[in-house]
Every structure is written in C-alpha cells, then in structure tokens.
Structure 1
C-alpha cells in the first residue's frame, strides 16, 4: 500500500526543512533527511508526523484554548506558580479525548508503517517536535518528551497525548519565556518513527564541528550501548571518537584522530510491562569494548560531512546501530547552535598562573576559568536549595535542571560526555563545565572554595581554593602579512585545536615527549619487555593503562599516533614539524617502568639524549615504536604534512646512523614526500652546517641549548642566571652563521625558542638575518607577528634609503 499524506498526517518523504511551521524543527529535518539524503546512501528509519493542524484540532475539540490562556496569564501575573501552571495545562491534555477522525488517521498511518516493516505491530519512537524548535538561534534541546518502544494503536495514541502534554513541562514553559516565544503561538507535531534495535546494539550523538573549540574540520562522535537516551541525558560516560573531515574523501586512509573508551556502566533496553524501557548494568566485556568499529566510525563521519554540506551549517545529529542487522541509521539532525555563532575574529584566552591542589578532573566544556563556592545538589528534589552564582556540582542533569543551571557560574557533574545534556546546555549558556568527573559529588562539599578550569585542553580540572589566572582577548582579524613565517610551538594534543583560528603558517615544534609523558606515561621499553619487568607496581599500572591492547607496544604506537594527529590536524595542510623524543635520562626514568632501562648520569643535559639514543641497543627498539607511530600518522591516517625532526644530533656520522635506522623502520627521507629536519642546538651543527644540510631538509634552531653549549652555562643554574643570555654576541654569531649557511645550501631554517616572544629586538635580529620562520608559543603569537611586521618594514625602509 502506498502511504498517503493529508493535512493532519504527513509522511517523512513528503516534508522538508521548509515545513517547520507544519511539523516542527525535528520532524522537518527528518523529512529533509529522508527526502534528500536517503537517496545518497544515508539510512534514515521511515515514519510519519502529525501536523500543527492536528494539534490545534485536538485543543479546539476539547475546548482547552481559553483555559490554557487563563492559566498562562495567571502565571505571568504571578497569581500561580510555574509548577501549578504547568501541572494544570498538562492535565488538560492528559485527560483530553482524541477527535475520532484524527485518532483514526494516526492508527491508519501506523498500520501502513507496520505493513512497510512487515510486522503486525512495529515498535516505534514517538517524538515531540515543536514549531519553535531546532532553530539556528535556539535549540530547545530536550524540552519536550520522547517515548521509545511503543507498540500497538492504543499505546501509540496514549504516547501522542503525552507528547502534547510535554509542550507544557515546567522547563519548556521557562525556556519559551526566556527565548521570547508566545506559548499560544507554538504548536506541537508528533513524529512516529520505526525504532532501530539499538537496545541490542548501540547509539549516540554526533557533531560535525568540535563542540569546545569550534574547529570546523572535526566530526565528534559519542557512543554507548543500548538506546540513545542515556547519552543525550548524560547518564553514562560514552566512548568518544574524533575524525578529521578533510581526509575522509581518501578511501586509502583512516583519519580517526581520537578514540577514547568510556565507562558505559549501563544501557537502556526494551522492557515488557507498563514501562517500555529500563536501564540495566552493562557486562564487563561491554565496558571494555568500543561500541563502534573503525569502518563504522568513518561511515558516520562521512554521513555527518554530507549532512553538514546539505544544510550548509554545522550539525548536531543522533544515530543508532541496529543490533539485529548491524546497520547504522541517522535518527535526528538539527543545526548546531553554539560554536557556529561564535565570533571568528576574536576569542578569549585563559591561562592558569598559580593554582592550589588538583582535586579532580573530567571532560572540559568551554575554555574558561571560574573561581567560586560549591553548591552540591545530589537529589533533584533539592534543586530549590541552589545558591545563585555558585558552582553547581551534581551527578547529572536533565532539562528540569535548566533554570538552576542558568543561575550557576560553572557546572561539574559525575557523569556524561561532551554531548550530554549538561554539556550542551552549558555551551548554550556560555558556562564552563566539567562532565564525567566520576566522583565530584564525593570529593567536593557545600561552600568549598574551588577553581574550575576548562582552559587546559580537553581535560578540565577542579583546583582547591581560588587560583590566579590571566585572560586575554586575542584579535586575529587584522594581523599584518609577513614574509617571515610565524609558526606555533605545540605539545599538548588536548589543547592544539584551541588555536586553529590563529593564522599560523604551521607548527614549528610539536614535542613528542609531551605526548609520551601525558598521554602514554609508560616507558616504551617497559612495554616491549613487560614480562621482564621486576617492578611489580609498574607492572600493575601498565596492565591497567593498556587494557584493551593485547599487544602492549601497540598501546604506545596507537596513542602516540593519535596524539600527534590532533596537532597535525589543527593546522592541516600546513607543515607540522614533529620532534622525535627528547627526554633526558632522568626524565625517561620518571616514566612508568622507566627506571629499569635508564642509566644514572651526573649531567643528563649533555648525556644520553636525542639522536644518540635512536641507534643505541639500549633504546633502538623504543625508537622503532616512535617511527611506527609517525609512519602510521603519515601513511595510514593521511597526515603527509608531518615533517620529522631529529634533536641533539652531535655529528654527521651520528646523522647518518639515525637516518639509516629511520629508513629501516619505514621512514626514508624523500619517500612519499617525507622531509627530515635537524635541531641546531650544538655548536657542531653550526660549524658543519653545510654538511648537515646535505643530510637534512632543514634546521630548527633551539636557542636555549645552543646558548648553553656556546657559553658553557647551565641554563638551570640560579647562580649563573645572569650569564645565560640568548642575545650574547657569541650566540647571535652562531645563529647568523647557521642561517647564512642554510640559505647558501638551499635548506629551510627556523627558530623555535622563547627569545622572540620575550625580546622584540631579537625578532628583528632574526628577520635581519633572513630566517625563514620563527615558532612561538600560541600566547605570544599576536605580539611576535607585529614585531616581525615592524622589523620587515624597517628593513625595507632601510633598503629604500
């Protein structure tokens, strides 16, 4: 039988995004997906919608309109409370009778849906879709109800009545009032959509933009077992995946730059009886497994990119995986309403200067820092106890919490991911939040003075007491153009995407050791020789960190490749220079399991470090893991913009040995466009610059070490601090000499040190020498850009004279 639409019932394929006034934002978008994107291979479950006309017919048939107006007027005049008004209006709908014709039409459409599915009573999701919802300027997220696993005509009509009533939940009334919508001008459409059996599969939420930084080239996917309400409401800590969009068109690469396994402690499944769904604990195997395979992650990411391209704006989507067929479906799509409206020309940067003891951590939402007093609310019944201006600490939030969240300065929750209710509403309200902290309600207490920091990457931290922090508004719209390239020094993958708006010419220094120490934490040799470890505490910690990795060395390669990928993605396709590990022996020994593999040295600064390690039997196998990670980053993930750099290379003989070992591990200079640079931080690099230039594509001057070894001064010695000067004439001679030698040899040359940030005249000196690039920390970028422009202008003026 061919489904027929009428003024009160329309099938998804007969509506589109221009039909918001008839079927609300949610259903209009579902229709758009079915009509325009299902033909392109994006799977969307079939269904139909009741129209606004059906809603008004229900209201008029029952004579509700005048009573609704009176109740809402009494609320506006404070004659009755919000709770009283909402309960009274909902009561009207819940006790109203269906007009016979509309009930018959809904039942008939349901029977047609059953015929399509080949079942006598197909299970459906019954979703509310208000005519003022999912708009670019107001999301109305979670304001009305959804009912899952509804079967049979009677159950469907009962669920539809409850949908109508949910237009007047307390939270919906409050939200409309805050957004300036007239209650009596908003109607409700009901979407009836065939269920995807995600109760025995998985589901989640997906954004076509990074939700915290607004970085437009990433798809963010959250996933958990069972029906999707747990992810949306923040009841579970989901898996999180990040995919780099610009490389999705290349079928030969897998640009998944982030994979984080969530706790997923419970799942929402079908239930028999009065309640159609129930939460049950997940198994240990489910908690330890990822919900999605890589191929499924890529499929969803490609769909997200296609949906975004069709709508011409960043999108917020819900998806579900059918546990019976294994197929994945998009079940909702709406415009993203926060990052897409942010001003691109300026952003505020926060920096912690001094903080107290770190109490806890979780996922950071936003990028601000807030200090204040805790207001702990464990039970929703105690919402009335919230103190205005406090930091709200609770287990999780749902739409009923929105009025309280508006009065908070920051939010901390035990549970939830980046797409949970708490995260979404916090972004919309412009509040910093930490979600999925695990034990915030156990560790924090009422009136405790704390600082909530979301300014340190994707991990947020709660510090004891009031921290000292700085804020800076970074303007990027009118920066001058310069011949000298200005690049960034980055090490923290979690924070890399925060700086995507800066018009940098690439990353001049990506510190591999930062990724190892913060995201891996284990010495690579301890992973390779795990069975030989004598330190039992280290063995236990490694076993815990590498859960899900049968091959412990793969843990190192996988986490290092993905960590570096996030840095490589931030400024793609511009060059990103990754320095191979440059720990000193005492620093390597501080990694988990590292003490058994490192010698004790009197002066690690000029000891067994850098290039010398890479071909040494003591560390050669560990270096092979680093090479595997970079090879995966460039070849398997597609980041051919990555340049490799070798630190502390003392001689040309050593350079030859390192290049040979790299080639043995699949990193051959010149192959697949691979460039290899060398740090210039030892005087021999300057003296033999022409010879080094034959072996490397470029130099990066490490001014700290070069100053130390040129002047013979320990840079960490307080007694010699006045002698350590990067602007000493001997150091400047070294720098100018190597720049000249590099230019004669046709090699690239840059500097990655702090001096240009601290001393404007040093930047002018480098420009005068003809350096190709300068790389600085992000917080110095604007100032140094102006310094370079001024230096170039002065030089041009001198030449003109």
Structure 2
C-alpha cells in the first residue's frame, strides 16, 4: 500500500485505505462509489491523528491517566471515570495538527467549497473510530459529531474535538469492558457537506420487533436526525414490505419539538438548536408516502450492496428537487439481531434496544446517560 495521505475525498477512497479511515468514512466512500446519493466530503485519515499524538510527546501521559486512574471494572466509580476522561480530553486538545496535514485539509475543504459553490460551506464533522464497526462490538454513538461547522479554522478545531471524544467517560468504559487497549484505537474524521433536512431519521432493513428480514422499518422526525438517534424525539414509524413496496405499518407520533437550523445572534453561521414545533406539525407525518418508499429503496440498495442487514441514517434535503431529495448519510451493519442470538436475557423492547445501540451501547447494561 502506498503512503497514506492526510485526507482523501470520499469518491477517491480506495479499499486499501479503509483501515486508516474508520468504519464511518469507509462506508461513505463505498456508498458514493457505487452510485448511492451521499453528500460529498472527505476523510481525514488516522495518519493525522497518529502524527499529532507522536509530535505532542503526550502519548504515555494518556496511558498514565487512563490506565493509572482506573482499577478493576467492579471498582470503577462514576466520579473516577469522569475525572480520568476530563484529564485525557484536556491532553488531546493540546495536540497541534502538523503543518503538512493542516495544509492538505485546508485544500480539501477549499475544494469542497468550490464544488458546492458556497464560501465556507457548512459541513458535518463526524468521528470515525477504527474500532466502531468491529464485528464483536458497536461503538456507534460513543464519539462526537459536530453539525453546521463553517470555515476551515472551525473545521480544524472540531477535528481535534472528535479526537478528544475517544476519551469520554462512556467511550473509555466501553473499551474497558471489552478489553480494548486505549492506546491502540485511532480516530479518523469525516468532513461532509451538510444537508438542510426537512425531515430525517434512521431505517433498518429488517423488522426490529421480530427480526423479520422481509420488512424495512423507518423512524422519521422533522429536522435533523440527531433528535431521533439521541432518543430526544419520539419518531414516526413505518414498516415497508421489501417485495410489494407497500406500507404495512404506520405510526404517527406527537412530535412537540425538533432539531432545526436557527440563526444565533453574534454567530457567523446558523446553528442546530432544539426548538418547539407549531401545532400543525406536532401530529402530522414528517414524511410523505413517496418519501417513505424512496427511503426504503435506498436502504434496500445499501443492504444488497453490503450483503447483510443494515442500519442507515437518511435525510430529505430541502435544497434538492422533489424526487431527488432523499440522501443517505450513513450505513452500517445491523447489530441488535445479529448479537441477540448470542445474548442471554436480551432486552424485550427491541426498538428501544436498536436506538440504544445506535446512541450508547452501555445504556442497556449500565444505565449510562445518553450523550
């Protein structure tokens, strides 16, 4: 394999570099290259993370903080965990991105701005850990995502914030439980053009109530999908038959608030905020029947490509014309039912279990707070 670049556009992300970009970036690159509708962007590789860590001279300090501050699993207190996590993140935030890497990232962002026709194009900056999609564990939701980031200086800062999220209390504890070496997990970062979603959510290419693979289950809500993934919004729910493309189950939930783009006084660009919805949207479906089928077909296409059930994140982008406005933001292997047959005393409410897995795998066992 040739030397790993600092950053790689999703459209050029060859399979040989997948180990250096984490599961999220690898999936985005694969989906774009097979023609699925994915917003453009680029992966900041683990080479940048590793070089910044080495240049800082603080690698051993991280080990001392984490391994020295935590004893046996049964003896760890929440107070000790949060203290260790805060100290480790503080160290990571002192790391400087080496000049050669910063120069490449600046060029990639400039290219994305030119491609989009927008100066300081808003992007999502998403963590892409090298361990998050390993077959024996699901790290989804354990690391940070930043939405509507504008300008290269803020992008570079949020990349370091994603690195630091390797050392949140929940991420440290999850690795500790599974026996992962904290110093052997690297972080790549996805920088992806933002969509302006009228509605968004998740979809599963099986029925989460019973694991039946003949159906596609969609959770949908107004605005950004973070409200659905975090459990902050009770979504609408639909079950679609994969063969007949009929909507066989339809549940419209009261949605009193949403995560929407808002103007903030003194800020250079809009921010995503939790806002109350007008009365006429509370009990209205967040997606049309045509959009439901379009989402289901995209989920099915992802499943066919990867050859196994998928969890996907999707959005209906208000900036795109009707009929072309449904986009994929992420696809990853389904984990709840694949693990359930090995688990004893699996959670009865499997819809909640899937959301827990997406947001915080610890929550089903440790009652940890969602982050």
Report the TM-score, using the length of structure 2 for normalisation. Answer: 0.87
- SS of the residue 1:167 aligns to: helix
Matched, 1:309 2:304: yes
Matched, 1:221 2:180: no
Relative to 1, partners in 2 of residues 1:195 and 1:169: Cα closer, same or farther, differing over 3 Å? same
Matched, 1:257 2:248: yes
- SS of the residue 2:293 aligns to: helix
- SS of the residue 1:278 aligns to: strand
Q: Is the 8 A contact 1:318 1:333 kept in 2?
A: yes
Relative to 1, partners in 2 of residues 1:407 and 1:59: Cα closer, same or farther, differing over 3 Å? closer
Query: Counterpart in 2 of 1:71?
Result: 65
C-alpha RMSD of the superposition: 3.0
- Give how far 1:400 is off: 9.3
1:455-470 to 2 correspondences below 5 Å: none
Relative to 1, partners in 2 of residues 1:17 and 1:204: Cα closer, same or farther, differing over 3 Å? farther
Query: Counterpart in 1 of 2:50?
Result: 56
Q: How far apart are the structure 1 equivalents of 2:244 and 2:360?
A: 40
Relative to 1, partners in 2 of residues 1:234 and 1:51: Cα closer, same or farther, differing over 3 Å? same
Q: How far apart are the structure 1 equivalents of 2:306 and 2:357?
A: 28
Q: How far apart are the structure 2 equivalents of 1:341 and 1:398?
A: 11
Relative to 1, partners in 2 of residues 1:220 and 1:162: Cα closer, same or farther, differing over 3 Å? same
Query: Counterpart in 2 of 1:289?
Result: 284
Please list the CA deviations of residues 720-771 of structure 1 after superposition, one character each: whole Å capped at 9, or x if unmatched: xxxxxxxxxxxxxxxxxxxxxxxxxxxxxxxxxxxxxxxxxxxxxxxxxxxx
Query: Counterpart in 2 of 1:206?
Result: 203
1:181-200 to 2 correspondences below 5 Å: 181-198=180-197
- Give how far 1:6 is off: 6.1
- Higher CA-based Rg: 1
- Give how far 1:106 is off: 1.1
Unaligned runs of 5+ in 2: none
Among candidates 8, 12, 15, match of residue 14 of structure 1: 12
Query: Counterpart in 1 of 2:147?
Result: 148
1:49-198 to 2 correspondences below 5 Å: 49-77=43-71, 81-198=80-197
Relative to 1, partners in 2 of residues 1:113 and 1:147: Cα closer, same or farther, differing over 3 Å? same
Relative to 1, partners in 2 of residues 1:400 and 1:169: Cα closer, same or farther, differing over 3 Å? farther
Q: How far apart are the structure 2 equivalents of 1:296 and 1:404?
A: 32
Q: Is the 8 A contact 1:268 1:279 kept in 2?
A: yes
Q: Is the 8 A contact 1:20 1:28 kept in 2?
A: yes
- Give how far 1:14 is off: 2.1
Q: How far apart are the structure 2 equivalents of 1:215 and 1:18?
A: 34
- SS of the residue 2:141 aligns to: coil
Relative to 1, partners in 2 of residues 1:9 and 1:302: Cα closer, same or farther, differing over 3 Å? same
Among candidates 341, 349, 352, match of residue 365 of structure 1: 349
- Give how far 1:17 is off: 6.1
Query: Counterpart in 2 of 1:406?
Result: 365
- Give how far 1:247 is off: 1.9
- SS of the residue 1:173 aligns to: helix
Relative to 1, partners in 2 of residues 1:54 and 1:123: Cα closer, same or farther, differing over 3 Å? same
Q: How far apart are the structure 2 equivalents of 1:156 and 1:150?
A: 6
Query: Counterpart in 2 of 1:237?
Result: 234
Q: How far apart are the structure 2 equivalents of 1:82 and 1:399?
A: 22
- SS of the residue 1:246 aligns to: coil
1:224-623 to 2 correspondences below 5 Å: 224-248=221-245, 255-271=246-262, 272=264, 273=266, 276-325=271-320, 326=322, 327-343=325-341, 365-366=349-350, 403=362, 405-407=364-366
Q: Is the 8 A contact 2:44 2:190 kept in 1?
A: yes
Q: What is the number of equivalent residue pairs in this alignment?
A: 354
- Give how far 1:299 is off: 1.1
Q: How far apart are the structure 1 equivalents of 2:16 and 2:256?
A: 40
Q: How far apart are the structure 1 equivalents of 2:4 and 2:110?
A: 16
Query: Counterpart in 1 of 2:32?
Result: 34
- Give how far 1:152 is off: 0.4
Unaligned runs of 5+ in 1: 249-254, 350-363, 368-395, 414-420, 423-801
Q: Is the 8 A contact 1:171 1:400 kept in 2?
A: no
Q: Is the 8 A contact 1:125 1:194 kept in 2?
A: yes
Larger relative contact order, structure 1 or 2 (CA cutoff 8 Å, min sep 6): 2
Relative to 1, partners in 2 of residues 1:288 and 1:149: Cα closer, same or farther, differing over 3 Å? same
Q: How far apart are the structure 2 equivalents of 1:400 and 1:260?
A: 22
Query: Counterpart in 2 of 1:24?
Result: 22
Q: How far apart are the structure 2 equivalents of 1:149 and 1:404?
A: 28
- Give how far 1:343 is off: 4.0
- SS of the residue 1:91 aligns to: helix
- SS of the residue 2:167 aligns to: coil
- Give how far 1:10 is off: 0.9
- SS of the residue 2:112 aligns to: helix
Report the TM-score, using the length of structure 1 for normalisation. Answer: 0.42
Please list the CA deviations of residues 345-397 of structure 1 after superposition, one character each: whole Å capped at 9, or x if unmatched: xx999xxxxxxxxxxxxxx7139xxxxxxxxxxxxxxxxxxxxxxxxxxxx98
Relative to 1, partners in 2 of residues 1:16 and 1:244: Cα closer, same or farther, differing over 3 Å? farther
- SS of the residue 2:243 aligns to: helix
Q: Is the 8 A contact 1:314 1:340 kept in 2?
A: no
Q: How far apart are the structure 1 equivalents of 2:330 and 2:114?
A: 23
